[in-house]
């Protein structure tokens, strides 16, 4: 069992959780597993604006999956933003080549510019395809997610935390170990 240290943040009575430590939270192996800290940031919103909490979760991992613990999952919005940046960079290169290089292009500038977003999104999609996981790993990114943090409006105590797991077996072990808090609806566990 590992204590969770969140500094000055208060939890509502009975809200506690611990992570099973006998299997890798990502690939599920029970061989050579060690507990490492996964940092998960989560913004919560209260009366006077938002605060960002950093949860330091003690997550068991094998050596192969250890790098994933440091990779924060990217949302679809993040990926689209990256694709837009890549497109913009390509468009800039096209414009610079045309203006500075004074080169005659086989196709018109506007066609090249028009192709920038297509290429940008294509390259970004290809990058994320290449960085997908291979079985038995379940995630290229952090295997344990915090999907929900409910804080009280007035005293800002944490009322509920929703966890999600990329590895089914690990999620089940977590649910088993934290049965009481789950039944009390203080925490929840589901598949990521
Ligand atoms: Zn593993």
Tens digit of pLDDT per residue, the chain (192 long)?
Answer: 444 545 567 888 889 999 999 999 999 999 999 999 999 988 876 666 677 888 999 999 999 999 999 999 888 888 888 999 998 898 888 888 877 766 666 667 778 788 888 888 898 888 888 887 888 999 999 999 999 999 887 777 899 999 999 999 999 999 999 999 999 999 999 999
- Residue in 120, 136, 10, 132 with CA at minimum distance from that of residue 71: 132
pTM of the model: 0.77
Predicted local confidence at residue 8, as pLDDT: 63
Q: Check the CA dihedral 149-188-28-168 and report its sign.
A: negative
Considering the domain architecture, whether residues 146 and 125 belong to the same structural domain is answered as no
Considering the domain architecture, whether residues 1 and 65 belong to the same structural domain is answered as yes
Considering the domain architecture, whether residues 111 and 19 belong to the same structural domain is answered as no
How far, in Å, from the CA of 62 to the mean position of ligand 1? 4
How far, in Å, from the CA of 60 to the mean position of ligand 1? 9
Q: Which two structure tokens, joined as six digits, stand for 53?
A: 């909490």
By CB atoms closer than 10 A (0-12, 13-18, 19+), residue 126 is exposed
| DSSP 3-state of 73 | coil
Let me know if residue 169 belongs to a domain.
yes
Considering the domain architecture, whether residues 84 and 63 belong to the same structural domain is answered as no
- Report how far residue 93's alpha carbon sits from residue 127's, in angstroms, rounded to the nearest whole number: 20
- Report how far residue 25's alpha carbon sits from residue 154's, in angstroms, rounded to the nearest whole number: 35
Let me know if residue 42 belongs to a domain.
yes
Let me know if residue 23 belongs to a domain.
yes
Predicted local confidence at residue 3, as pLDDT: 47
Q: Check the CA dihedral 63-67-72-76 and report its sign.
A: negative
Considering the domain architecture, whether residues 63 and 26 belong to the same structural domain is answered as yes
Predicted local confidence at residue 114, as pLDDT: 84
| Helical residues (DSSP H) of the chain, grouped into ranges | 76-101, 109-130, 168-177, 179-183
Phi, psi (rounded to 5 degrees) for 178: -115, 30
Considering the domain architecture, whether residues 35 and 10 belong to the same structural domain is answered as yes
Considering the domain architecture, whether residues 52 and 92 belong to the same structural domain is answered as no
Predicted local confidence at residue 191, as pLDDT: 95
Phi, psi (rounded to 5 degrees) for 52: -110, 125
How far, in Å, from the CA of 86 to the mean position of ligand 1? 32
Let me know if residue 135 belongs to a domain.
no
How far, in Å, from the CA of 113 to the mean position of ligand 1? 44
How far, in Å, from the CA of 70 to the mean position of ligand 1? 14
How far, in Å, from the CA of 25 to the mean position of ligand 1? 7
How far, in Å, from the CA of 111 to the mean position of ligand 1? 47
How far, in Å, from the CA of 63 to the mean position of ligand 1? 7
Considering the domain architecture, whether residues 170 and 148 belong to the same structural domain is answered as yes
Let me know if residue 158 belongs to a domain.
yes
- Report how far residue 90's alpha carbon sits from residue 112's, in angstroms, rounded to the nearest whole number: 9
Domain count, the chain: 2
Predicted local confidence at residue 75, as pLDDT: 80
Domain span at residue 149? 1-69+142-192
Let me know if residue 136 belongs to a domain.
no
Let me know if residue 63 belongs to a domain.
yes
Directed axis angle between helix 76-101 and helix 109-130, to 10°?
140
Considering the domain architecture, whether residues 119 and 159 belong to the same structural domain is answered as no
| DSSP 3-state of 176 | helix
Considering the domain architecture, whether residues 65 and 146 belong to the same structural domain is answered as yes
Predicted local confidence at residue 37, as pLDDT: 96
How far, in Å, from the CA of 135 to the mean position of ligand 1? 10
Considering the domain architecture, whether residues 25 and 49 belong to the same structural domain is answered as yes
Let me know if residue 137 belongs to a domain.
no
DSSP 21-56: -SS-TTT---SS-EEEEEEEEEEEEETTEEEEEEEE
Considering the domain architecture, whether residues 123 and 151 belong to the same structural domain is answered as no
How far, in Å, from the CA of 49 to the mean position of ligand 1? 38
């Amino acid at each position: 069992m590992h204590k969770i240290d969140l500094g000055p943040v208060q939890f509502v009575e009975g809200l506690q959780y611990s992570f099973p430590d006998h299997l890798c939270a990502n690939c599920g192996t029970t061989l050579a597993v060690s507990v490492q800290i996964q940092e998960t940031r989560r913004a919560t919103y209260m009366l006077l604006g938002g605060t960002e909490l950093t949860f330091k979760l003690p997550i068991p991992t094998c050596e192969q999956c250890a790098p994933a613990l440091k990779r924060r999952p990217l949302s679809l919005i993040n990926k689209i933003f990256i694709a837009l940046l890549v497109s913009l960079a390509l468009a800039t290169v096209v414009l610079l080549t045309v203006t500075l290089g004074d080169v005659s292009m086989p196709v018109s500038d506007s066609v090249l510019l028009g192709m920038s977003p297509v290429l940008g999104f294509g390259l970004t999609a290809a990058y994320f395809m290449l960085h997908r996981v291979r079985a038995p790993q379940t995630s290229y990114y952090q295997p344990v997610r915090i999907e929900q943090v409910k804080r009280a409006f007035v005293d800002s105590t944490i009322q509920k935390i929703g966890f999600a797991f990329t590895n089914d077996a690990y999620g089940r072990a977590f649910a088993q170990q934290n049965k009481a808090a789950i039944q009390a609806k203080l925490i929840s566990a589901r598949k990521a």
